[in-house]
Structure 1
């Protein structure tokens, strides 16, 4: 199985993270991709790096969005 193309960095209790997860899950399901979610509170380096910018979305290893996920932009980045 190949690695997910989308990574969502989150923090527990983050309502923007919940919103981003819904958009990402919907888009990935539609285009046949998978995504992984990483809780930044489990890694001090990630917490330092992203702290107040969460949720942060990466596509193919590059930062794509933060705070909000634009569905149209995400679809375009995934080639859909």
Structure 2
């Protein structure tokens, strides 16, 4: 991974293609971030051995401001609260 995605987005979702939980999480993150006017980014971990080793069993993994926020599911209200801090 060349650049730290947390430097370019407030919310980062680590995911991989074909993951239905990832699709659900991305939809929630996209909506919450759009409503809050915040930036977000999805990172495909399938091509990165280190990320797969770290997060492969927990995806989707959501980070807010560089800190792990959630994994497996994203709760919209909890994400909204984290972005309001």
Residue 51 of structure 1, CA deviation: 1.1
Partner of 1:61: 66
Give the Cα–Cα distance (whole angstroms) in 1 for the partners of residues 12 and 40 of structure 2.
6
TM-score computed with the length of structure 1 as normaliser: 0.94
Aligned residues between the structures: 79
After superposition, residues 1-80 of structure 1 pair within 5 angstroms as: 3-79=8-84
Give the Cα–Cα distance (whole angstroms) in 1 for the partners of residues 53 and 39 of structure 2.
26
> Alignment partner of 1:13: what SS?
coil
TM-score computed with the length of structure 2 as normaliser: 0.89
Give the Cα–Cα distance (whole angstroms) in 2 for the partners of residues 28 and 36 of structure 1.
10
> Alignment partner of 1:17: what SS?
helix
For structure 1, the residue ranges without an aligned partner over 5 or more in a row are: none
Runs of 4+ in 1 over 6 A off after TM superposition: none
For structure 2, the residue ranges without an aligned partner over 5 or more in a row are: 1-6
